[in-house]
Structure 1
């Protein structure tokens, strides 16, 4: 199973693709990982366009069975939520164009799937990503680690038949 994961952000968008192997313990290998960067000095359409192009390119190149995104929760951060929405919109359009279904998972679901409890620190999750993917070091920067964690989370829940489609 090939799964893409996205940690949505307008300035730093994490994008990772993993291939999950076997039927036993969650074991996977890294196919692709990057952080798509944009600048607040750029026009909105250039930022959104670059995110769309990079995500669509990865989806067409690796043909994942699913795209998993992190559900966003914002409290009193309206401007941030608005701009992250630009990035998420670009991701959703790319998924639609590539014919890839989209699933969403909250931070606690990611922590539960990878660390076994919903209150794990980001560092603990990154170490689990390193272990599952057989990497020498935890993925860096954090946006990439989060994208890979989200992809692995979908693989975990898909094995249980409990993937959560984005509505």
Structure 2
């Protein structure tokens, strides 16, 4: 077999229906749109229209607030960091920072920093330099004999 001989399996690719190509095609004349009315014509944008009645998305009250400059942190559990150390992707002698976690493949991109969460078990003695931690993660790091340096001033969360 050669590359130029490769084909899809029979019936794997279905050709699209070409509408409006004569009445013999089965989708001719009106092209599957029915007859007359707004929706049979082009340029229709009536997604939320309710026949003149006030649409439900305008009747219901709006609630909440999304801060425009909210920080977007990577959230990493201690168990995930321990797995990376066991696999040899993370060096236990180096401090754990956003850059080292990206290099190890634990997180995909730096974003606004890393926040450590307490799920899983941490056996290694590590030095963390992160944007924040949960209270349980901070306790687990201290218990394992590691150190914690919080960047940006976010203290461990209060319960």
TM-score for both structures, normalised by structure 2: 0.26
Structure (1 or 2) with the greater strand fraction: 1
TM-score by length of 1: 0.25
Larger relative contact order, structure 1 or 2 (CA cutoff 8 Å, min sep 6): 1
